[in-house]
Chains A and B, each alone.
Chain A
């Protein structure tokens, strides 16, 4: 039987993860490098070739930027609870050292997810700054990307944690990649939904990254309406479900 998580014990796990930054913040900075490069190469570089996109009233780079922000929040949170957690289970054996302490496995799970969300928010703030500096901000609604990244981070942190409980070895991460990469490429990050045949659109719309991009991009381009509640509800439900799967399976795996 697992004890329910408590706030103070969860925070102990969060504190442990953030103490690492005292030694080096390079992991956090390097999480920013790749999206900024993609923004420059595809948003600006390929953007020159794309020109005006029908149905999009801003230049291509300004349209792509919020989506890359959403993918950055996704990747930051997801990597922390997938590759990061798996390393701490398998290679570093961090949790083996934690289990004899008052922390339960559920505390660890919540602590990892909270740390991942904080990281997602930090990289999102960083990316908003990059957008502002490079003149890609078209509306003050871009600031809503910061609270949005809490939800995006929660959904993907929980999803990553749940996925990790199914992995047997580091080699299995390629299957994770086989899900994440197509999602990154096809969830309307780089081109709008109408470019797909009508029959395929529902398949794109049920992707969690599509919902995350909607949640960040629409307000960032100045379209704020009630429809924003759809991705909010979706991501909350997705994250809660994934969290349940993750905590149950982790409790069984770690035999607590």
Chain B
């Protein structure tokens, strides 16, 4: 497992510049453009409308969770499908004593590393904007990591058996994007029409955003955190279990 992890780490040492824009610059630009810019309009209209905090403080943790979801999904689905492909790195790894389960675990460990570093960069900016503080910050960081894995692990399980990578784009466009916009990231789910709310509550990103938000604002309750974190953890664990089977099937035919 460590060997697979260090393989990805070594590769990342040479290619990290290529990922900075998508995983660090993008969410920060949204934070600035939507959180600070559009937040200016929101705050002058109804300062205390959203949980009594500024729009930026409301939006930032939602974006933190959403960015973790996107990084988790792309980093996992895209690279796993490529590595499992005909001339991917998994093919080379299977000829060594590494088992498919170890390859999977090592790769997921690397995805966790990417999630943690990207989220840490985002959280540092949140601290600079003073929209979160103290030990709660670490809680929000952990929440983002969990959110990313809740998407990354199932995505790996799905992508390892994929023969055509264009499906990844479709899933991103029709599943990840809508979730990104309607899971209480940009506006509270309570604002949605009544019949749509149950749908939003069922979205995993809703739980990620709620978890990160309550933790970063310091309003988390034990019960609420347990529910949100429990659902995300269940998704991550189910994803890992499914990935174990899927990796074995694809790599040891």
Residues of A at under 8 Å CB distance from B?
30, 33-34, 37-38, 40-42, 45-46, 48-53, 171, 174-175, 177-178, 181-182, 185-186, 190-191, 195
**Stretch of B43-51, B68-76, B225-233 contacting A (4+ beta carbons < 8 Å):** B43-51
CB-defined A-B contacts under 8 Å, sample of 19:
A40-B181, A41-B181, A41-B186, A46-B42, A48-B187, A49-B187, A50-B42, A51-B46, A171-B15, A174-B21, A175-B21, A181-B25, A181-B29, A182-B33, A185-B33, A185-B34, A190-B37, A191-B40, A195-B41
A210 CB to closest chain B CB, in angstroms?
14
**Does B173 lie within 8 Å of A33, measured CB to CB?**
yes
Distance between Cα atoms of A171 and B21 in the complex (Å)? 11
Contact B37 A195 (CB under 8 A): yes
Note all chain B residues with C-beta closer than 8 A to A46. 34, 38, 42, 186-187
A174 — which chain B residues lie within 8 A by C-beta? 18, 20-22
Q: Say yes or no: is B191 at the interface (Cβ < 8 Å to chain A).
A: yes
Contact of A37 among B37, B170, B181, B191 (CB under 8 A): B181
The reply to whether B191 and A185 contact each other, CB–CB distance below 8 Å, is: no
A34 and B173 within 8 A (CB):
yes
In the complex, which of the residues B18, B45, B181 contacts A50, with contact meaning CB atoms closer than 8 Å?
B45
> Is B52 among interface residues, defined by CB-CB distance under 8 A?
no
- A-B pairs with lowest CB-CB distance, top 3: A185-B33, A41-B181, A174-B21
Determine which residue in A40, A49, A178 has the highest number of CB atoms from chain B within 10 A of its CB, and name it: A49
Instruction: Tell yes or no: B32 within 8 A of A by CB.
Output: yes
Q: Is the CB of B18 within 8 A of A171?
A: yes
Q: Which residues of B contact A (CB under 8 A)?
A: 15, 18, 20-22, 25-26, 29-30, 32-34, 37-38, 40-42, 45-46, 49-50, 55, 170, 173-174, 177-178, 181-182, 186-187, 191-192
Chain B binding surface SS class: helix
- What residues on A are CB-neighbors of B37 within 8 Å? 185-186, 190-191, 195
Contact A51 B21 (CB under 8 A): no
Q: Taking chain A's interface residues, is the majority helix, strand, or loop, or is none over half, making it mixed?
A: helix
Given A45-B187, A195-B41, 17 more contacts at CB 8 Å? A34-B177, A38-B181, A41-B186, A42-B34, A42-B38, A45-B181, A45-B182, A45-B186, A48-B191, A49-B45, A49-B46, A49-B49, A49-B187, A50-B41, A52-B45, A174-B22, A185-B29
**Contact status A50-B21, CB under 8 Å:** no
Of residues B20, B26, B38, B50, which shows the largest number of chain A Cβ atoms within 10 Å of its Cβ?
Answer: B38
Compute how far the CA of A196 lies from the CA of B77 in the bound complex, rounded to whole angstroms. 39
**CB-based contact B40/A195 at 8 Å:** yes
Decide if B191 touches A45 in the complex (CB within 8 Å): yes
Please name all residues of chain A whose beta carbon is closer than 8 Å to the beta carbon of B45 when the two chains form the complex. Answer: 49-52
Does A190 contact B191, Cβ atoms closer than 8 Å?
A: no
Task: Closest A residue to B32 by CB, please name it.
Answer: A185
Contact of A41 with B182 in the complex, beta carbons under 8 Å: yes
Enumerate chain B residues within 8 angstroms of A182, measured Cβ to Cβ. Answer: 29, 33
Residues of B within 8 A of A52 (CB): 45
Q: Return B49 CB to nearest CB of chain A, in Å.
A: 6
- Identity of the chain A residue whose Cβ is nearest the Cβ of B59 in the assembled complex: A46
